[in-house]
Amino acid sequence: MATHLVWLRNDLRLNDNSALWAACRRREDRVLALFIATPQQWRQHDMAPRQAEYIWRSLQLLQQGLAEKGIALHYHQCDDFSAAVSYLQQFCRERHVDALFYNYQYEFNERERDAAVERLLPQQGVTVQGFDDSVLLPPGSVRTGEGKMYKVFTPFSKACLKRLRGDLPPCLPAPEARAHVTADQPAPLAPFDYPRQSIDEQRFTPGEAAALQRLRAFCRQRVADYPARRDYPADEATSGLSVCLAVGTLSPRQCLHRLLREQPHALEEGAGGVWLNELIWRDFYRHLLVAFPALCKNQPFMAWARQLAWQQRADHFTAWCEGKTGYPIVDAAMRQMNATGWMHNRLRMIAASFLVKDLQIDWRRGERYFMSVLIDGDLAANNGGWQWAASTGTDAVPYFRIFNPTTQGARFDPQGTFIRRWLPELAAVPDSDIHDPHGWAKKNRQRLDYPSPIVEHKAAREQTLAIFEAARKASPVIPPEQVNE
């Protein structure tokens, strides 16, 4: 009988867990699980306290689920990844582990940590097996005809759909209960030495069972209306599954299989195809992290973007963070995120565009702030989204395309339903004036307890165009491959 260890990270589930399934292939083998908390590393990576709470509570539920399968989930806390590798070596020695199983993470520091594990553990007789688990298709498996990583999403998406039509990735069941229940009793899960913040129980219910329930309900009831309603933040039209995917209480393959069960033509771009495209965007950003590691190191994808002359207005950044810019749709978005740890995707684009294109503040400051607050914070998606909005990334919005926050608000929250939810001080403003409340107040001689706009959009747009054009002219032409080496 061999002893197998499953090292859990962002894969806190029993179902469709590639590493867990492989470790449990033979019922007679002894299987242990381990989760190592690294608070100091989390601080360096700006993990939000609400995400820590979601992880902590999901971990407790997973420990119960594993125990029912005869698998003990052990827990350890240490400062950082280096200490985690040392503890992993010690754990394997003490419990005579024969093989380690884990699912890959694609961020640079995590890959460096895993490379150290793959180098050190075999020296003490432990076989190490890693799996591509948080993606539909493994990074490096979707390439251009020249064998390179795609830099534009649309051809990447078409290539993915072609692959998926020909060979659907399997969705694995939970493993069977072990033939021999281990006598190795883990210590109780101690709270993380990391700030935790209460979460909205209804929207972000921790654990795998809640994630699966939410997935089924979305695919059965709302996915058909998703293309038409997904951009309207007042509607409950999105899946709400981003935190489940970020932490791993749900896998993208489970999403794909459930979608196809309810919408069989999704791969042919029928009903459900728009939501499937969002899952492929998620893969795209993960593939990019592997192909261009500099994305994990605070670097823009486009070389010329290093020349951008950012503004250093601390008061403007604070106003943006607090939702006090004087632009209702931006402020409502930021207040939603600060209060709940989540922001609607359309609003993420609007808020990011405003910080970069209206305030001319470095996108990296916004990226870090989002990570520090979002319950669904995920480096690949967050970095990809910010570089898209800032026009510094692959397949980004052209730099001369600048969202007008007033017209964006009027288009996607026409009656101001969402705005009033988060800006109660605008309750008296009529629907027709909700996106220009100060214009209404001046015209009607009303006093508003709401900030005046901190910049004038038209003037800010002209300044931004000049800044971006100057950066492009000043920068030498460097291929992205060299920038990202």
Annotated binding site for FAD: 226, 238-242, 275, 278-285, 376-378
Catalytic residue status for 388: no
- Active-site hit among 56, 109, 278, 338: 278
- Active-site hit among 363, 388, 422, 440: 363
Give DSSP secondary structure letters for 385-431.
Answer: HHHHHHT-STTPPPTT----HHHHHHHHSTT-HHHHHH-GGGTTS-G
Of all helices (H) and strands (E), which one includes residue 129?
strand 127-131
Give DSSP secondary structure letters for 7-32.
Answer: EESS---STT-HHHHHHTSSTTSEEE
Catalytic residue status for 268: no
Alpha helices by DSSP H, listed for 167-271, are: 208-221, 226-229, 242-247, 252-262
Residues annotated within the binding site are 226, 238-242, 275, 278-285, 376-378
In the block, tokens 């608000």 appear at: 409
- Active-site hit among 109, 269, 310, 338: 310
Catalytic residue status for 386: yes
Q: Which of the 8 DSSP states describes residue 399?
A: T
Please name the residues in contact with 453: beta carbons below 8 A apart, sequence gap of 6 or more: 325, 326, 327, 438
- Active-site hit among 281, 304, 422, 440: 281
* Cα of 16 vs its chain's centroid, Å: 19
On whether the CB atoms of residues 320 and 361 are closer than 8 A, the answer is yes
- Active-site hit among 10, 109, 338, 345: 345
* Cα of 206 vs its chain's centroid, Å: 16
In the chain, count of helices (H) and strands (E)? 21, 5
Which residues in 217-235 are b (16+ Cβ under 10 Å) and which e? Answer: ebbeebbbebeeebbbbbb
- Total residues found in the chain within this entry: 485
- Active-site hit among 7, 386, 422, 440: 386
On whether the CB atoms of residues 171 and 253 are closer than 8 A, the answer is yes
Distance CA 348, CA 5 (A): 39
Catalytic residue status for 320: no
Which residues belong to the active site? 278, 281, 310, 345, 363, 386
